[in-house]
């Protein structure tokens, strides 16, 4: 699971460089080129964790929930639990792009992050509850 603002920003910049494959939402995104704030309001994206991914699912029923921000530690714990070696330092799906400076600017802007947290409020609450339970 990934912090909602960070996750949305990641998706946004990935979608900017990903070519169309016939997905209606992505095609809309490519044609509209919304701001990050308008993108956050897209149906299903504004509630990505709380509804789209985990709607009506009690996360306490899972045997394990890992978090992106502590990937190495969580994969190590999962590795021990399953008896399978995972490399928590391996990260093969990073989106390298010409938008890295713009992305960093958003993440470094407290007003921008607060505005995104406000738009993604339900997901932020969902994420915090999951993080508290699984810590």
Question: pLDDT (tens digit, 9 = 90+) per residue, 68-127?
Answer: 888 888 888 898 989 998 876 666 666 667 888 999 999 999 999 999 999 999 999 999
Q: Residues near 124 by Cβ (< 8 Å), separated by ≥ 6?
A: 4, 5, 117
pLDDT for the residue 2? 93
pLDDT for the residue 121? 97
Tell me which residue of 115, 35, 134 sits closest to 124, measured CA to CA.
Answer: 115
Of 98 and 39, more confident: 39
For residues 73 and 36, the answer to whether their CB atoms sit within 8 Å is no
Distance (Å, whole) CA 49 – CA 95: 21
Q: Helix crossing, 4-17 with 24-32: angle to 10°?
A: 80
Distance (Å, whole) CA 46 – CA 116: 9
For residues 89 and 72, the answer to whether their CB atoms sit within 8 Å is yes
């Amino acid at each position: 699971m990934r912090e909602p603002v960070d996750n949305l920003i990641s998706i946004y910049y990935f979608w900017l460089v990903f070519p169309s494959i016939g997905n209606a939402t992505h095609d809309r995104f490519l044609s509209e080129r919304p701001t990050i704030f308008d993108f956050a309001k897209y149906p299903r994206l504004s509630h990505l964790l709380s509804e789209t991914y985990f709607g009506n699912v009690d996360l306490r029923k899972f045997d394990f929930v890992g978090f992106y921000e502590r990937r190495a530690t969580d994969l190590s714990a999962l590795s021990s639990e399953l008896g399978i070696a995972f490399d928590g330092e391996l990260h093969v799906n990073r989106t390298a792009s010409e938008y890295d400076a713009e992305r960093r600017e958003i993440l470094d802007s407290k007003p921008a992050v607060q505005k995104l947290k406000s738009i993604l409020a339900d997901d932020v609450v969902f994420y915090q509850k999951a993080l508290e339970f699984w810590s």
